[in-house]
Structure 1
């Protein structure tokens, strides 16, 4: 029999690892540059999730993380958690994320899944189980964003550097998808 809390933590850790792997081997410019019209960038995703872990798996359970980012206290510009300033180093942002997740893992370890907390500013109490479910979804969502951004940078895809869970690259695939889209659009017009 497996431990439900440990299963949830493993799924969260898998997404954390994927997110950081997406930074490997890239230049400072590539980890910071916006690749969508809304500015999505790899280092900004890491910075954002650092704050989310500090908030949801720290402050919400009366376990503040020493280094909770300013964007959660209202002392920062809007969306400042979604990009890295030139004076913020990749190493500091990544190490801050690792520290936040270690703090979050301590919270997970010491509390039961039915422990109740309250996200600052939220109207109702929530359980650790619900928060963990939320953080898994949030982190996997942003790992998916990172996957797309990394593919736009250099074509690298997948959950891990070994390419597991990814079909072999087929240069004709995108063309087939485009043709199917055009054909479907023509049928509907």
Structure 2
């Protein structure tokens, strides 16, 4: 067996997170992809918008490779958390296309530079803003998978759709009745544990 190319592994896991995040938008209305689903406003399209900015920042600007994409929600005078939701004027197609352009830009950076290339994160304090490309890619993978997990839970609460992709839900087999009994069993165990505490 030959050792895999580290960049191939990194790109694989990054792309799987990207695909999972976008899949969560499929089949939903404009309202459902935008509506705040948690007390802190987490919403599906906002997660995609945020992920686009993360990739353009960490895998572009950090390595002296600005994309040229205007991101007014990340400017100094921008509204706090402006990257975590889409305005009514920012269409689904605009955000998804921006994210795909961010992928292409990030992938070009990964391809062009050795993993030990040192960059500087512009928004980190100067005395500790240096990172290697390897570190930046791992950071982006972790962030994207974290938000794909958020999106998975939000989508499950909306309509029951779960998993990494439409063709790979990564869930054990079971019909609606099985899952209902499974959930009820967990509820009973939680109540019993609470009474015993």
CA distance, structure 1, for counterparts of residue 103 and residue 167 of structure 2: 24
Unaligned runs of 5+ in 2: none
Q: Which moves more between the two structures, 144-153 or 121-130?
A: 121-130
CA distance, structure 2, for counterparts of residue 158 and residue 108 of structure 1: 27
2:185 corresponds to 1:181: no
2:138 corresponds to 1:129: no
Q: Which moves more between the two structures, 78-87 or 170-179?
A: 170-179
Q: Normalized against structure 1, the TM-score is what?
A: 0.96
CA distance, structure 1, for counterparts of residue 138 and residue 19 of structure 2: 17
Task: Calculate the aligned-residue CA RMSD, in Å.
Answer: 1.1
How many residues were matched structurally?
Answer: 188
Per-residue deviation at 1:151? 0.4
Structure 1's consecutive aligned runs of 4 or more residues displaced over 4 angstroms after TM superposition are none
Q: Alpha-carbon deviations, 1:125-144, whole Å to 9, x = none?
A: 10000001101100000000
CA distance, structure 1, for counterparts of residue 173 and residue 94 of structure 2: 35
Alignment of 1:8-27 (within 5 A): 8-27=10-29
Per-residue deviation at 1:176? 1.1
CA distance, structure 2, for counterparts of residue 35 and residue 175 of structure 1: 24
Contact 1:51 1:68 in 2 (8 A): no
CA distance, structure 2, for counterparts of residue 165 and residue 52 of structure 1: 26
Contact 2:34 2:85 in 1 (8 A): yes
Per-residue deviation at 1:31? 0.5
Q: Alpha-carbon deviations, 1:52-90, whole Å to 9, x = none?
A: 001000000000111141233213100111111111100
2:24 corresponds to 1:28: no
Alignment of 1:33-182 (within 5 A): 33-122=35-124, 123-169=128-174, 170-182=179-191
Alignment match, 1:7: 9
Q: Normalized against structure 2, the TM-score is what?
A: 0.92
CA distance, structure 2, for counterparts of residue 89 and residue 156 of structure 1: 23
Unaligned runs of 5+ in 1: none
